[in-house]
Structure 1
Amino acid sequence: MSADGLLKALHDSQRYLDVVQKPQLGKSEAEWLVETTVENFAKYYNSGFIEYRKSVAEAGDFASVEWTGRGATFRDVLGKEYIDCLGGFGVFNLGWAHPKVVGAVQAQLLKSPLPTQELLDPLRGMLAHLLAEITPGDIQYSFFVGSGTEAVEGAMKIAKLYTRKSGFIAAVRGFHGKTTGSLALTGKSIFRRPAMPLHNNIYHVPFGDADAVEQQLRIAREVGNDIAAVVMEPIQGEAGAIVPPDDFWPCLRQLCDEYEVLLIADEVQTGLGRTGQFWGVDHWKVAPDIITSAKALGGGVMPIGAFMASPKIWSVLNSNPFIHTSTTGGNPLACAAAIAAINVTLEEGLVEQAAEKGDYFIQHLQAIAARHNDIYTDITGKGLLIGQHFVNDDIGYEIAAGLFKRGVLISGTLNNSRVIRVEPPLVITKDEIDSVLNKLEDTIQALHTTIAGPGVTLVPAQDVVA
């Protein structure tokens, strides 16, 4: 750091603030912003990100840089409009910049953005009360953090404090976050292996296989590997919207009671209506001991996560309220957004909308997949958490890129383009769904035209290695 560097930072920060203050940019300003954003990401954030987001770099003369949005559509800085079928991987349940959520945050911003940490901040109590009213079973207490992975970390910690055990059972291909504790639960080697060793006494079983869970619990008991909790997503999101058998969650509840371990439902992605029920576990009428939430909890406006439990389990925190703390978790701005998000979800019937629109979307995608079974292997999911499964990564990427060029934002499940997730805002309209379906058909037809040459065949599904 030098004096010249500080002067340059002062100049650059003011120029960036000027951009923030402008509701829209002229053509030359927009082009400058695109070029600056790409350069900043490549030089100062992560050059690999530009390569991974190929649709950004291949969008035309200028990369796509997001700017503003409302409902289920958004515009990039050059003014091109897109239908959002990604929803921030579950953040935008209420759509982009829902006015009630934005208004709540703006109003709170004028009073107090952050808490004193010493006095009682009212919005934290209000949000905890609301969550007690809408969570399943006897869950009553909440702790607020800034993200989903922190919520999972907190859930793991309270489970260990309450049970005085250290082990966990999770699912193969499950996703729970990338901080070290939650990463230990995540069932994907691509994320786990580079950071090994992780939290020990973690066991993974096939998702949806209750017999495998029971076998692991029985072995753990016999050899002394004390298990604190079984941790599962109600429906696996990053694995491709994988729905378990209908008896899986009821069996988990029974097994956890029998073996005296806790059941943790990771609802970071599935909660607040995404799957057509308020919580994913509501599909099977199961009440977990601990539940996590994040993503949509902030209404698409503020980051916030939460882990919640019953009074019996929460007693370990009540007896020592400083054993787990967060300086900025549960701040008034985030709580204001979450209170508004819960209100809007209930007031606008978004859970019911997700169920109805999800059925419509899935039925039409299944029909498309049946017509094009040379490239599709399956359509999975519930509500508006849907997975399109293709025969290989290349086909999946071409579908995602083709839709992007036609004004639909969609993406593979993290590093896997073989499964393309459909996860739009719950406020997406039927007309917008129909537009996405039509553009999907156009993309498939263009793909067939490109690859259908003499001697060219698609790889059949059974020959593809997962």
Structure 2
Amino acid sequence: LINGIGIHLMGHSHPEVMAASISGALTDILVQGNLQPNEEYLKLNKKLVDIASRKSRLRHAWLTTSGSMANENALKMARQKNSPARKIIAMNAAFAGRTTMMAEITDNPAFKQGLPEYHEVLRIPFYDKNDPHSIEKSVALFKEHVDKNKNDICAFIFEPMQGEGGYNVAPREYFLPLFELCRENKIAIWADEVQTFCRTGEFFAFETLDLGDYID
């Protein structure tokens, strides 16, 4: 059995991971969730916050069982923060997960077969290194979406580097004008780092790109 291909970080049967798993299973509850967290759960959250807060404004952590569930909760928070706004701006070729709402954000028809369209996702193109006007085009379309959906956009979700969409990367200069538009229009900036975490030379790709000050 195999799952979570996009989030495997430690390889197959890493000895330190196996030893920690066995020790945990013998000394405490095997599954830790929000109803029965123990000391290790708290220690891990504190460590993640320590790491994330070094170069960002992030001060809270919550553990979940999948990338889709992490993104679902990010969407909940964005909509609660900016209620009654409900729409999301996302990238072409984005991948956010396969739950009903994350499949809507994911730009792949294969994950939407038989599902209704909710018409809550607005798209802009990801950075194209072969197009000298790539940044201008994305910014212009972002502005157009904002103008046509006044006070109804709760969040902008982005992958700092796209994985499922084709291993696409963008420079810092691509993201900055988009983030400034988010700030001007009170749109939450939602970084999806399910696949980029610990894979870009830093713990978070927003550190690699020096974008931490913008992340909500």
TM-score normalised by L of structure 2? 0.83
Structure 2 unaligned spans of 5+: 128-133
Q: Please list the CA deviations of residues 430-460 of structure 1 after superposition, one character each: whole Å capped at 9, or x if unmatched.
A: xxxxxxxxxxxxxxxxxxxxxxxxxxxxxxx
- The structure-2 alpha-carbon separation of the partners of 1:150 and 1:202, relative to structure 1 and needing over 3 Å to count, comes to same
1:63-462 alignment runs, 5 A limit: 89-110=5-26, 111-115=28-32, 121-135=38-52, 136-164=55-83, 165-198=85-118, 200-208=119-127, 209-211=134-136, 212-224=138-150, 226-272=152-198, 274-287=199-212, 288-290=214-216
Shift of 1:108: 1.0
In the alignment, the residues of structure 2 paired with residue 236 and residue 96 of structure 1 have an alpha-carbon distance, to the nearest angstrom, of 24
Shift of 1:117: 6.0
Q: Please list the CA deviations of residues 60-117 of structure 1 after superposition, one character each: whole Å capped at 9, or x if unmatched.
A: xxxxx99xxxxxxxxxxxxxxxxxxxx9634333222111111111111112213586
Q: Please list the CA deviations of residues 31-68 of structure 1 after superposition, one character each: whole Å capped at 9, or x if unmatched.
A: xxxxxxxxxxxxxxxxxxxxxxxxxxxxxxxxxx99xx
In the alignment, the residues of structure 2 paired with residue 247 and residue 283 of structure 1 have an alpha-carbon distance, to the nearest angstrom, of 13
In the alignment, the residues of structure 2 paired with residue 129 and residue 94 of structure 1 have an alpha-carbon distance, to the nearest angstrom, of 21
Shift of 1:281: 1.9
In the alignment, the residues of structure 2 paired with residue 131 and residue 99 of structure 1 have an alpha-carbon distance, to the nearest angstrom, of 22
- Conserved 8 A contact 1:253-1:286: no
Where does residue 372 of structure 1 map in the other structure? Answer: none
Which amino acid counterpart does residue 192 of structure 1 have in structure 2? K
Q: Please list the CA deviations of residues 15-43 of structure 1 after superposition, one character each: whole Å capped at 9, or x if unmatched.
A: xxxxxxxxxxxxxxxxxxxxxxxxxxxxx
In the alignment, the residues of structure 2 paired with residue 174 and residue 118 of structure 1 have an alpha-carbon distance, to the nearest angstrom, of 32
- Conserved 8 A contact 1:172-1:188: no
- Conserved 8 A contact 2:94-2:165: yes
- The structure-2 alpha-carbon separation of the partners of 1:210 and 1:265, relative to structure 1 and needing over 3 Å to count, comes to farther
Larger radius of gyration: 1
Where does residue 130 of structure 2 map in the other structure? Answer: none
- Conserved 8 A contact 1:210-1:248: yes
Structure 1 unaligned spans of 5+: 1-64, 67-86, 291-466
Q: Which runs of 4+ in 1 moved over 4 A?
A: 115-120
The structure carrying a bigger helix percent of its residues is 1
In the alignment, the residues of structure 2 paired with residue 241 and residue 230 of structure 1 have an alpha-carbon distance, to the nearest angstrom, of 20
- The structure-2 alpha-carbon separation of the partners of 1:210 and 1:180, relative to structure 1 and needing over 3 Å to count, comes to farther
- The structure-2 alpha-carbon separation of the partners of 1:126 and 1:218, relative to structure 1 and needing over 3 Å to count, comes to same
Shift of 1:284: 1.7
Q: Matched residue pairs, number?
A: 204
- The structure-2 alpha-carbon separation of the partners of 1:118 and 1:177, relative to structure 1 and needing over 3 Å to count, comes to closer
Report percent identity of matched pairs.
Answer: 27
In the alignment, the residues of structure 2 paired with residue 140 and residue 97 of structure 1 have an alpha-carbon distance, to the nearest angstrom, of 32
In the alignment, the residues of structure 1 paired with residue 66 and residue 36 of structure 2 have an alpha-carbon distance, to the nearest angstrom, of 24
The structure carrying a bigger strand percent of its residues is 1
